[in-house]
């Protein structure tokens, strides 16, 4: 095609577009409704009013002009004309309640509330009487939505409720009502309607859970849900849907022991394989509530011998018990040896090579860190690593365990080599990050803070939140206590104490802590030392000494970064170690008051309620 032809074609196309656009604009200009609306949009209200008055004489225009014309009359405060217009429209459109509602809007604008109320009540009655509802339940819903859009929220609620009552269906419009209550920020009735909906719609239970999770963000909201569930369970004892929701609610509250009680009762009633118990068990384990997970896995083994989850429960009950024993002070070595024997039984019965290796890892860690049988632990792991199973997570974890044990045995160079192997094998993966974190801690123990910080700076960006948080905590500790100390002497002494603790030399570590507390009485490291001392004394079973150190933080260093940690640990010692219920409750209440933003708030609150006996009367 020649250049001339292309130019001619382009010009013709352009002319055609101009003609089309001109015709379109001309068509728009000749539409009287659009002309009136354009006057309104441009703020030329008198011209707009004149045009709308002409258009309103023709019934066929009403649906197109009503919204804008009514807004115009309200804006111009032409109330008499608006009333005349609306009454005429209502007369000519007796089945369209939108115009009557807008007449109510007009009366409200003129502060004639009684007049508006009487009018709108009549509208509701026409739509929601029994005969009408049976034919027009959709119209009932639409009327309620119109009320809500025009800010007659109470009328919207009234419409739904009267429509429901007319048909005698207690769950009719339940989701609609829940949504209105939500937008009005009325949590209690919103919850009641979601529960109402779930009663006869168990297949939609996950939808209800997702909605409640989205809209109940505060602890008090979950408390309201919990109490509502107790009330409906008393009335609907045979409806397992509510028990299911109560289990879910306790899990949201991280009240795992209460969730387990409900799950156990539910699974007994349903005569299933203990699915709800297993779910609670796994969630409890992942949230470090090992006492509850141990009980739950035990119930699967004892009460549901045919459950397909029984083998998994057999493994996790050992893992849970291990964590419980490691956090029971002082350590019960007899119980540790008994647990090792149970791991050995599990190994002899297991057909899965990786489950066997995982159990061997656990045995080695117990031997090294709980029984101080280092040679046995090294032999266990070395023998395990000789198996040809390729690149697998459990192999990498075993290498890091062996590295930890070499460090425990004062052989740090062996540790460095093993950490490095894992880091290279699993680069840019969680296991590789874990190995790098352990390498950073080793540099920290040795007092090489610059190298430790270079690794920690990388790890703070790790995809694993747990690793990133651990790296950040250690980084902050180093920075806070070296920023005004160019020699790093204080931080080096503190790091050497942490190494002593890692190597299970607790008495030597305590002596070093006491020496530092005397030498550096006004240093920023004091609260860390006191907290570390409390943890160490607790592990030795010296609970009163632990509380003395914590009380020093609670009284003189509560404003430091470990203030909430110290208060929470104080409550734990009173509750778990000394059995002082009243003292523990006082401490937890103090924490909730003084540190409302603490990460310990949820658990402190649950512990407080449990000690108060809030869950003693559960069904």
pLDDT at position 189, please?
96
Q: Give the separation between CA 489 and CA 206, rounded to whole angstroms.
A: 57
E strand map for 12-53: none
> For residue range 188-209, what is the model confidence (pLDDT) as tens digits?
999 999 999 998 888 899 999 9
Domain assignments of the chain as residue spans, ordered by start:
1-30, 505-612
- Secondary structure string (H, E, C) spanning 219-251: HHHHHHHHHHHHHHHHHCCCCHHHHHHHHHHHH
Q: Give the separation between CA 552 and CA 560, rounded to whole angstroms.
A: 12
> Is a pLDDT exceeding 80 seen at residue 510?
yes
E strand map for 319-437: none
E strand map for 254-385: none
- Secondary structure string (H, E, C) spanning 538-558: HHCCCHHHHHHHHHHHHHHCC
Give SS3 for 129: coil
The tokens of 248 are what? 């879910």
User: Under a CB-based contact definition with an 8 Å cutoff, are residues 401 and 381 in contact?
Assistant: yes
Q: Give the separation between CA 500 and CA 508, rounded to whole angstroms.
A: 7
Confidence grade of residue 135 (pLDDT, cut at 50, 70, 90):
low
User: What count of residues does the chain have?
Assistant: 619
> For residue range 210-228, what is the model confidence (pLDDT) as tens digits?
999 999 988 889 999 999 9
Give the up-direction half-sphere exposure of residue 456: CA atoms within 13 A in the CB hemisphere: 22
Average pLDDT for 31-46: 91
The position carrying tokens 């769950």 is: 171
Confidence grade of residue 269 (pLDDT, cut at 50, 70, 90):
confident
CA distances in angstroms from 230 to 237, 250, 422, listed in the order given = 10, 12, 51
Which position has the higher pLDDT, 97 or 388? Answer: 97
**Cβ neighbours for 130, distance < 8 A, ≥ 6 positions apart:** 166, 167
Average pLDDT for 358-368: 95
User: Under a CB-based contact definition with an 8 Å cutoff, are residues 495 and 412 in contact?
Assistant: no
Torsion on CA atoms 24, 28, 29, 33, rounded to nearest 10: 170
Q: Please count the other Cβ atoms lying within 10 Å of the Cβ belonging to residue 538.
A: 23
Give the up-direction half-sphere exposure of residue 475: CA atoms within 13 A in the CB hemisphere: 17
Q: Residues 505-612: name the CATH superfamily.
A: Tetratricopeptide repeat domain (1.25.40.10)
User: Under a CB-based contact definition with an 8 Å cutoff, are residues 611 and 572 in contact?
Assistant: no
């Amino acid at each position: 095609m020649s250049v001339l032809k292309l130019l001619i074609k382009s010009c013709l196309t352009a002319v055609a577009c101009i003609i089309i656009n001109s015709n379109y604009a001309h068509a728009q200009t000749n539409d009287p409704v659009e002309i009136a609306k354009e006057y309104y949009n441009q703020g030329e209200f008198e011209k707009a009013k004149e045009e709308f008055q002409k258009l309103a004489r023709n019934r066929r225009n009403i649906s197109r002009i009503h919204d804008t014309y009514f807004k115009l009359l309200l804006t111009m405060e032409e109330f008499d004309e608006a009333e005349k217009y609306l009454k005429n429209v209502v007369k000519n459109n007796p089945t369209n309640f939108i115009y009557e509602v807008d007449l109510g809007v007009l009366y409200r604008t003129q502060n004639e509330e009684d007049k508006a109320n009487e009018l709108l009540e009549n509208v509701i009655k026409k739509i929601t009487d029994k005969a009408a509802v049976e034919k027009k339940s959709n119209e009932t819903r639409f009327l309620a939505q119109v009320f809500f859009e025009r800010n007659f929220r109470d009328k919207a609620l009234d419409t739904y409720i009267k429509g429901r009552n007319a048909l005698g269906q207690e769950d009719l419009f339940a989701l609609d009502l829940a949504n209105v209550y939500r937008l009005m920020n009325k949590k209690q009735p919103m919850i009641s309607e979601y529960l109402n909906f779930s009663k006869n719609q168990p297949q939609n239970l996950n939808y209800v859970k997702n909605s409640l999770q989205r809209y109940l963000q505060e602890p008090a909201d979950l408390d309201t849900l919990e109490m509502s569930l107790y009330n409906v369970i008393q009335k609907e004892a045979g409806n397992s849907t509510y028990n299911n929701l109560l289990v879910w609610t306790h899990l949201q509250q991280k009240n795992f022991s209460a969730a387990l009680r409900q799950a156990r009762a539910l699974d007994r009633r349903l005569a299933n394989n203990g699915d709800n118990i297993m779910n609670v068990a796994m969630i409890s384990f992942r949230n470090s509530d090992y006492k509850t997970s141990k009980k739950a896995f035990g119930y699967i083994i004892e009460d549901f011998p045919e459950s397909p989850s029984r083998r998994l429960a057999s493994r996790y009950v050992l893992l849970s018990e291990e964590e419980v024993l490691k956090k029971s002070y002082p350590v019960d070595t007899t119980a540790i040896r008994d647990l090792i024997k149970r791991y050995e039984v599990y190994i002899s019965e297991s057909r899965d090579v990786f489950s066997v290796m995982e159990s061997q890892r656990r045995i080695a860690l117990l031997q090294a860190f709980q029984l101080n049988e280092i040679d046995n632990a090294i032999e266990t792991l070395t023998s395990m690593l000789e198996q040809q199973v390729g690149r697998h997570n459990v192999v990498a974890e075993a290498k890091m365990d062996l590295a930890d044990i070499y460090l425990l045995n004062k052989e740090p160079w062996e540790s460095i080599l093993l950490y490095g192997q894992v880091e290279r094998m699993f680069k840019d993966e969680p296991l590789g990050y874990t190995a790098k974190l352990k390498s950073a801690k080793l540099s920290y123990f040795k007092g090489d803070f610059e190298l430790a910080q270079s690794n920690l700076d990388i790890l703070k960006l790790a995809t694993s939140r747990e690793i990133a948080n651990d790296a950040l905590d250690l980084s902050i500790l180093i920075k806070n206590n070296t920023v005004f100390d160019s020699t790093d002497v204080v931080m080096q002494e503190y790091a050497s104490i942490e190494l002593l603790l890692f190597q299970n030399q607790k008495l030597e570590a305590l002596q070093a802590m006491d020496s530092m507390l005397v030498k550096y009485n006004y240093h920023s490291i004091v609260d860390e030392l006191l907290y570390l001392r409390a943890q160490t004394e607790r592990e030795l079973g010296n609970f009163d000494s632990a509380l003395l150190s914590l009380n020093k933080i609670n009284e003189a260093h509560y404003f430091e970064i470990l203030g909430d940690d110290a208060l929470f640990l104080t409550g734990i010692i009173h509750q778990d170690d000394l059995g002082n219920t009243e003292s523990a409750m006082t401490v937890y209440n103090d924490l909730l008051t003084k540190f409302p933003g603490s990460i310990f708030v949820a658990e402190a609150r649950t512990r407080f309620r449990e000690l108060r006996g809030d869950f003693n009367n559960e069904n």
